A and B are shown apart, each in its own frame.
Chain A
Amino acid sequence: MSDSNQDIKMVDAPEGHSGAGFFATSFEKVIGLARKNSLWPLPFATSCCGIEYMATMGSHYDISRFGSERPSFSPRQADIMLVMGTIAKKMGPVVKQVYEQMAEPRWVVAVGACASSGGIFDTYSVLQGIDRIVPVDVYVPGCPPRPEQILDGLMRVQDLAANESLRRRNSPEYQALLASYNIK
């Protein structure tokens, strides 16, 4: 078993030109590949969805397989913010501050019904979806979603990261999106 490597999955090289001793491709593809396979998450867990995420981090579901090896509770070096659980209106500024402290490129996943839309808590004290304060890339449905669904959400973000143009974050559309949320 130890010398068989048929279970090991390697990432395919991006399309490019190869010859004797060299391989040429575009920066965008290489950087997209690197970003895609090392998305470090910042879990913003407030409720039950956070417990599902803990299961996702455990050995059975093993989010580390996707390169999300280091869950960071600081915005430093975090690429993807996973908001899991009910966000009360009092918590809103904190979510926004954490998002603002993250460096570009950054992605946001709203995990579960509460983070996506307020869920069953349609009441005066609960924010009806985090897309009111920060831009969201991927919504994961469920109440709470199973770990497989959280992994699927992460894989959707991987698709975004792999195919994103290097200049997307400088585009006027993206600046307008951030301006609509009063960020920067």
Chain B
Amino acid sequence: MELTNENVLGKIISEFGEENIWDAYNPDGIMTFTTNRETIVNLITYLRDDKELQISFLTTMCGIHYPEQKGKELCVMYQLHSLRHNYRVRIKVFIPGSDPVMPTMTGVYATTNWMEREAFDFYGIIFKGHPNLTRILNIEEMEYHPMLKQYPLEDRTREDKIDTYFGR
């Protein structure tokens, strides 16, 4: 079977139901759709194990922060690739910032171990069931998650950038 966006989306919707798959569009030729926390692990396992699709390679996974979307501030994005068919797909899961919990994908793809640690490090997303959810890039003593857009990127202890020096 030739993998096209319509075929794949039809297969996924028939498997998981319309209530769990929505907002499908092709922003750059790669089909992108949204699902929920309950479906995501089963969905990615299904894409990996289905004989016809064989979308069995997780190219990347990361967190995103949309501070202006109330109730859907955080997002976890998965990009998958079928090496057999050279077909790519992108899956997003939006979660509220007040409840940043996701199921871990480490049972499906071992590579997500470090990727989820990175998402936890920078966005504070808690992955339930992760074997070792600790910071991976920043220092352990850091008290905040620096990629959340509520924090200034600049170091606020510098005294050579105060307004006086810029005539403000």
Tell me the A residues contacting B by CB distance below 8 Å. Answer: 89-90, 117-118, 122-126, 128
Contacts and interface: CB of A to CB of B under 8 A. Distances in A.
A118 to B, nearest CB: 7
Nearest to A121: B155
Contacts of B153: 123-124
B157 interface: yes
B139 interface: yes
A42 B153 CA distance: 33
Contact of B138 (A118, A122, A125): A125
Identify the 6 closest CB pairs spanning chains A and B, nearest first.
Answer: A124-B146, A122-B154, A128-B155, A90-B139, A89-B139, A128-B158
Contact of B158 (A89, A118, A125): A118
Contact of A123 (B137, B139, B154, B161): B154
Interface of B: 137-139, 142, 146, 151, 153-155, 157-158, 160-161
Nearest to B144: A124
A122 B146 contact: no
28 contacts: A89-B138, A89-B139, A90-B138, A90-B139, A117-B158, A117-B160, A118-B155, A118-B158, A122-B154, A122-B155, A122-B158, A122-B161, A123-B153, A123-B154, A123-B155, A124-B138, A124-B142, A124-B146, A124-B151, A124-B153, A124-B155, A125-B137, A125-B138, A125-B146, A126-B155, A128-B155, A128-B157, A128-B158
A17 B72 CA distance: 84
Contacts of A117: 158, 160
Contacts of A90: 138-139
Contacts, number: 28
B138 to A, nearest CB: 6
A89 B137 CA distance: 11
Contacts of A118: 155, 158
Contacts of B151: 124
Contacts of B157: 128
A126 B158 CA distance: 12
Nearest to A132: B157
B158 to A, nearest CB: 5
A125 B146 CA distance: 9
Contacts of A123: 153-155
B109 to A, nearest CB: 27
B163 to A, nearest CB: 15
B151 to A, nearest CB: 7
A124 B146 CA distance: 7
Contacts of A125: 137-138, 146
